[in-house]
Amino acid sequence: PPRISFRNVGLRYFSPRGETEALRGIDLDIRPGEFVAIVGQSGCGKSTLLSLLAGLVPPGSGTVAIDGVPVTGPGRRVGFMLQQDTLFEWRTILENTLLGPELQGGDMAAARRRAEALLTRYGLGEFMHHKPGQLSGGMRQRAALARTMCLEPDILLLDEPFSALDFQTRLMLADEIADIIRREGKTAILVTHDIPEAISMADRVVVLSRRPGRIRAIHDIAFPSAGG
Ligand code: ADP
Ligand code: ADP
Protein backbone atom coordinates (compact mmCIF):
# COMPACT_ATOMS: atom_id res chain seq x y z
CA PRO A 1 0.00 0.00 0.00
CA PRO A 2 1.21 3.54 -0.70
CA ARG A 3 2.60 5.68 2.10
CA ILE A 4 1.02 8.75 0.50
CA SER A 5 -1.91 8.96 -1.86
CA PHE A 6 -3.51 11.88 -3.64
CA ARG A 7 -6.88 10.96 -5.15
CA ASN A 8 -8.43 13.40 -7.60
CA VAL A 9 -7.28 16.32 -5.47
CA GLY A 10 -8.36 19.83 -6.35
CA LEU A 11 -7.89 23.11 -4.51
CA ARG A 12 -8.97 26.70 -5.10
CA TYR A 13 -7.81 29.75 -3.20
CA PHE A 14 -10.28 32.57 -2.65
CA SER A 15 -8.92 36.02 -1.98
CA PRO A 16 -10.17 39.61 -2.37
CA ARG A 17 -8.42 39.63 -5.75
CA GLY A 18 -10.45 36.67 -6.94
CA GLU A 19 -10.27 32.93 -7.22
CA THR A 20 -7.23 30.85 -8.20
CA GLU A 21 -7.50 27.21 -9.13
CA ALA A 22 -4.19 26.02 -7.73
CA LEU A 23 -4.58 22.25 -8.30
CA ARG A 24 -6.91 20.05 -10.33
CA GLY A 25 -7.32 16.28 -10.58
CA ILE A 26 -4.07 15.31 -8.82
CA ASP A 27 -3.66 11.51 -8.64
CA LEU A 28 -0.41 10.29 -7.18
CA ASP A 29 0.78 7.35 -5.06
CA ILE A 30 4.11 7.42 -3.27
CA ARG A 31 5.66 4.25 -1.88
CA PRO A 32 7.26 4.00 1.57
CA GLY A 33 10.90 5.03 1.26
CA GLU A 34 10.42 6.62 -2.13
CA PHE A 35 11.93 10.01 -2.98
CA VAL A 36 9.72 12.05 -5.29
CA ALA A 37 10.52 15.47 -6.74
CA ILE A 38 7.80 17.88 -7.84
CA VAL A 39 8.94 20.33 -10.48
CA GLY A 40 7.25 23.12 -12.40
CA GLN A 41 7.18 26.86 -12.84
CA SER A 42 6.51 29.25 -10.04
CA GLY A 43 2.79 29.26 -9.26
CA CYS A 44 2.06 25.73 -10.49
CA GLY A 45 0.94 24.55 -7.04
CA LYS A 46 4.06 22.87 -5.64
CA SER A 47 3.87 24.51 -2.21
CA THR A 48 0.15 23.86 -2.12
CA LEU A 49 0.79 20.11 -2.56
CA LEU A 50 3.14 20.15 0.42
CA SER A 51 0.69 22.18 2.51
CA LEU A 52 -1.99 19.58 1.81
CA LEU A 53 0.28 16.77 2.97
CA ALA A 54 1.27 18.71 6.06
CA GLY A 55 -2.40 19.20 6.87
CA LEU A 56 -2.07 22.99 6.73
CA VAL A 57 -4.87 23.34 4.17
CA PRO A 58 -7.74 20.94 3.46
CA PRO A 59 -8.30 19.77 -0.12
CA GLY A 60 -11.22 21.45 -1.89
CA SER A 61 -12.06 18.10 -3.49
CA GLY A 62 -10.64 14.59 -3.42
CA THR A 63 -8.50 13.03 -0.66
CA VAL A 64 -4.96 13.21 0.60
CA ALA A 65 -4.05 10.19 2.73
CA ILE A 66 -1.06 8.88 4.65
CA ASP A 67 -1.07 5.07 4.98
CA GLY A 68 -4.69 5.12 3.88
CA VAL A 69 -5.77 7.58 6.58
CA PRO A 70 -7.04 10.95 5.29
CA VAL A 71 -4.98 13.91 6.46
CA THR A 72 -7.19 16.19 8.55
CA GLY A 73 -4.63 18.46 10.18
CA PRO A 74 -0.97 18.80 11.12
CA GLY A 75 0.50 15.59 12.51
CA ARG A 76 3.77 14.26 13.83
CA ARG A 77 4.46 11.99 10.91
CA VAL A 78 5.45 14.83 8.61
CA GLY A 79 8.65 16.89 8.94
CA PHE A 80 9.75 19.96 6.98
CA MET A 81 12.96 21.30 5.59
CA LEU A 82 12.66 24.81 4.24
CA GLN A 83 14.64 27.04 1.92
CA GLN A 84 15.48 29.43 4.67
CA ASP A 85 16.82 27.48 7.59
CA THR A 86 15.07 28.76 10.68
CA LEU A 87 17.79 28.11 13.23
CA PHE A 88 17.69 30.34 16.30
CA GLU A 89 20.91 32.32 16.36
CA TRP A 90 21.14 32.55 20.15
CA ARG A 91 20.87 28.78 20.64
CA THR A 92 23.68 26.31 20.00
CA ILE A 93 23.31 23.75 17.21
CA LEU A 94 22.47 21.06 19.78
CA GLU A 95 19.90 23.32 21.45
CA ASN A 96 18.38 24.06 18.05
CA THR A 97 18.17 20.33 17.30
CA LEU A 98 16.35 19.78 20.61
CA LEU A 99 13.78 22.48 19.96
CA GLY A 100 11.14 20.15 18.52
CA PRO A 101 11.35 17.54 21.30
CA GLU A 102 11.22 20.38 23.87
CA LEU A 103 8.02 21.72 22.37
CA GLN A 104 6.47 18.26 22.12
CA GLY A 105 7.51 17.20 25.58
CA GLY A 106 8.60 13.64 26.36
CA ASP A 107 11.87 11.97 27.19
CA MET A 108 14.51 14.71 26.83
CA ALA A 109 17.43 12.45 27.72
CA ALA A 110 16.51 10.16 24.82
CA ALA A 111 16.01 13.18 22.56
CA ARG A 112 19.45 14.46 23.47
CA ARG A 113 21.09 11.13 22.64
CA ARG A 114 19.22 11.13 19.33
CA ALA A 115 20.27 14.71 18.58
CA GLU A 116 23.93 14.03 19.34
CA ALA A 117 23.93 10.90 17.18
CA LEU A 118 22.27 12.75 14.28
CA LEU A 119 24.64 15.70 14.45
CA THR A 120 27.63 13.37 14.56
CA ARG A 121 26.35 11.43 11.55
CA TYR A 122 25.82 14.68 9.66
CA GLY A 123 29.40 15.79 10.27
CA LEU A 124 28.48 18.38 12.88
CA GLY A 125 29.80 16.55 15.95
CA GLU A 126 32.46 19.16 16.62
CA PHE A 127 30.05 22.04 16.10
CA MET A 128 27.26 20.94 18.46
CA HIS A 129 28.02 23.65 20.96
CA HIS A 130 28.59 26.37 18.37
CA LYS A 131 26.02 28.99 17.43
CA PRO A 132 24.56 28.88 13.88
CA GLY A 133 26.41 32.10 12.97
CA GLN A 134 29.71 30.20 13.15
CA LEU A 135 28.61 27.65 10.52
CA SER A 136 28.61 27.72 6.71
CA GLY A 137 25.35 27.70 4.73
CA GLY A 138 25.69 23.98 3.99
CA MET A 139 26.34 23.14 7.62
CA ARG A 140 23.33 25.19 8.66
CA GLN A 141 21.13 23.20 6.30
CA ARG A 142 22.47 19.93 7.72
CA ALA A 143 21.72 21.23 11.22
CA ALA A 144 18.21 22.16 10.08
CA LEU A 145 17.81 18.61 8.76
CA ALA A 146 19.03 17.17 12.08
CA ARG A 147 16.43 19.25 13.89
CA THR A 148 13.68 17.88 11.65
CA MET A 149 14.95 14.28 11.95
CA CYS A 150 15.14 14.55 15.73
CA LEU A 151 11.33 14.46 15.70
CA GLU A 152 11.52 11.12 13.84
CA PRO A 153 9.07 11.92 11.03
CA ASP A 154 8.24 9.14 8.53
CA ILE A 155 7.73 11.68 5.77
CA LEU A 156 10.02 14.54 4.93
CA LEU A 157 8.90 17.56 2.91
CA LEU A 158 11.66 19.61 1.34
CA ASP A 159 10.55 22.97 -0.06
CA GLU A 160 13.33 24.47 -2.23
CA PRO A 161 15.77 23.54 0.54
CA PHE A 162 18.90 24.74 -1.25
CA SER A 163 17.77 27.80 -3.14
CA ALA A 164 19.41 30.25 -0.75
CA LEU A 165 22.80 28.53 -1.10
CA ASP A 166 25.59 29.11 -3.58
CA PHE A 167 26.01 26.76 -6.54
CA GLN A 168 28.93 24.67 -5.20
CA THR A 169 27.32 24.17 -1.80
CA ARG A 170 24.03 23.10 -3.31
CA LEU A 171 25.60 20.50 -5.60
CA MET A 172 27.41 18.89 -2.70
CA LEU A 173 24.56 19.18 -0.26
CA ALA A 174 21.89 17.83 -2.64
CA ASP A 175 23.71 14.50 -2.93
CA GLU A 176 24.52 14.36 0.76
CA ILE A 177 20.98 15.06 1.84
CA ALA A 178 19.49 12.58 -0.61
CA ASP A 179 21.87 9.89 0.74
CA ILE A 180 20.97 10.66 4.33
CA ILE A 181 17.25 10.52 3.64
CA ARG A 182 17.58 7.17 1.82
CA ARG A 183 19.78 5.63 4.48
CA GLU A 184 17.26 6.58 7.14
CA GLY A 185 14.44 5.07 5.09
CA LYS A 186 12.31 8.22 4.98
CA THR A 187 9.70 8.90 2.35
CA ALA A 188 10.53 12.29 0.86
CA ILE A 189 8.96 14.89 -1.37
CA LEU A 190 11.21 17.58 -2.78
CA VAL A 191 9.77 20.70 -4.37
CA THR A 192 12.16 22.54 -6.67
CA HIS A 193 12.35 24.37 -9.95
CA ASP A 194 15.88 23.05 -10.46
CA ILE A 195 15.47 20.05 -12.76
CA PRO A 196 19.06 18.74 -12.47
CA GLU A 197 18.62 18.82 -8.70
CA ALA A 198 15.34 16.91 -8.97
CA ILE A 199 16.91 14.26 -11.22
CA SER A 200 20.00 13.82 -9.07
CA MET A 201 18.02 13.41 -5.85
CA ALA A 202 14.73 11.72 -6.68
CA ASP A 203 13.48 8.28 -7.73
CA ARG A 204 10.61 9.90 -9.65
CA VAL A 205 10.07 13.39 -10.99
CA VAL A 206 6.52 14.73 -11.25
CA VAL A 207 6.06 17.66 -13.62
CA LEU A 208 3.18 20.03 -12.89
CA SER A 209 1.58 22.32 -15.44
CA ARG A 210 0.47 25.79 -14.45
CA ARG A 211 -3.02 27.20 -13.74
CA PRO A 212 -4.50 24.95 -12.78
CA GLY A 213 -1.68 22.77 -11.47
CA ARG A 214 -2.11 19.33 -13.03
CA ILE A 215 0.27 16.40 -13.42
CA ARG A 216 1.70 16.75 -16.91
CA ALA A 217 4.25 13.94 -16.76
CA ILE A 218 5.91 11.52 -14.35
CA HIS A 219 9.47 10.44 -15.08
CA ASP A 220 11.00 7.39 -13.43
CA ILE A 221 14.60 7.97 -12.49
CA ALA A 222 15.35 4.91 -10.38
CA PHE A 223 14.10 3.07 -7.38
CA PRO A 224 16.88 1.37 -5.48
CA SER A 225 16.20 -2.33 -4.99
CA ALA A 226 16.03 -3.76 -1.49
CA GLY A 227 19.49 -3.95 0.03
CA GLY A 228 20.99 -1.99 -2.86
P1 ADP B 1 4.34 27.14 -6.35
O2 ADP B 1 4.76 26.62 -5.01
O3 ADP B 1 4.49 26.15 -7.44
O4 ADP B 1 4.98 28.45 -6.69
P5 ADP B 1 1.82 27.70 -5.02
O6 ADP B 1 1.31 26.41 -4.52
O7 ADP B 1 2.50 28.60 -4.07
O8 ADP B 1 2.76 27.42 -6.29
O9 ADP B 1 0.62 28.53 -5.66
C10 ADP B 1 -0.26 27.99 -6.65
C11 ADP B 1 -1.21 29.09 -7.10
O12 ADP B 1 -2.06 29.47 -6.02
C13 ADP B 1 -0.52 30.37 -7.55
O14 ADP B 1 -1.23 30.89 -8.62
C15 ADP B 1 -0.59 31.26 -6.33
O16 ADP B 1 -0.60 32.61 -6.71
C17 ADP B 1 -1.91 30.84 -5.70
N18 ADP B 1 -1.90 30.97 -4.24
C19 ADP B 1 -1.05 30.36 -3.39
N20 ADP B 1 -1.35 30.64 -2.10
C21 ADP B 1 -2.41 31.46 -2.15
C22 ADP B 1 -3.21 32.12 -1.15
N23 ADP B 1 -2.98 31.95 0.16
N24 ADP B 1 -4.23 32.89 -1.57
C25 ADP B 1 -4.50 33.05 -2.87
N26 ADP B 1 -3.80 32.47 -3.87
C27 ADP B 1 -2.77 31.69 -3.51
P1 ADP C 1 14.04 35.16 -1.66
O2 ADP C 1 13.08 34.35 -0.83
O3 ADP C 1 13.78 36.62 -1.62
O4 ADP C 1 14.23 34.62 -3.05
P5 ADP C 1 16.19 33.70 -0.46
O6 ADP C 1 15.30 32.93 0.43
O7 ADP C 1 16.77 32.98 -1.64
O8 ADP C 1 15.48 35.03 -0.94
O9 ADP C 1 17.42 34.23 0.40
C10 ADP C 1 17.35 35.35 1.29
C11 ADP C 1 18.74 35.63 1.91
O12 ADP C 1 18.92 34.85 3.11
C13 ADP C 1 19.84 35.25 0.95
O14 ADP C 1 20.51 36.42 0.51
C15 ADP C 1 20.78 34.36 1.73
O16 ADP C 1 22.09 34.90 1.74
C17 ADP C 1 20.25 34.30 3.13
N18 ADP C 1 20.19 32.88 3.56
C19 ADP C 1 19.19 32.04 3.36
N20 ADP C 1 19.43 30.82 3.84
C21 ADP C 1 20.67 30.89 4.37
C22 ADP C 1 21.49 29.95 5.01
N23 ADP C 1 21.14 28.67 5.20
N24 ADP C 1 22.69 30.35 5.45
C25 ADP C 1 23.08 31.61 5.26
N26 ADP C 1 22.34 32.56 4.66
C27 ADP C 1 21.15 32.21 4.21
Q: Is the CB of 163 under 6 A from ligand 2?
A: yes
Q: Is the CB of 13 under 6 A from ligand 1?
A: yes
User: Which atom of ligand 2 lies at the shortest distance from residue 137's CA?
Assistant: 24
Q: Tell me which H or E stretch contains 184.
A: none
Per residue in 177-191, pLDDT (tens digit) is 898 899 989 999 999
Q: Is the CB of 15 under 6 A from ligand 1?
A: yes
For the chain, which ranges sit under pLDDT 70?
84, 223-228
Ligand with the closest atom to the CA of 83: 2
Residues contacting 202, CB < 8 A, separation 6+: 35, 36, 37, 178, 190, 221
What's residue 228's pLDDT?
45
What's residue 226's pLDDT?
52
Percent of the chain with pLDDT over 90: 71
Mutate to test the pocket of ligand 2, among 42, 84, 145, 147 (most ligand atoms within 8 A of CB): 84
pTM over 0.90: no
Closest residue CA from atom 7 of ligand 1: 47
Across the chain, where does the E strand assignment appear?
4-15, 18-30, 35-39, 61-66, 69-70, 78-82, 155-159, 187-192, 204-208, 215-220
Closest residue CA from atom 24 of ligand 1: 13
Q: Kindly give the distance from the C-alpha atom of residue 49 to the centroid of ligand 2, in angstroms, as a whole number.
A: 23
The single-letter DSSP state of residue 186 is: -
Q: Is the CB of 20 under 6 A from ligand 2?
A: no
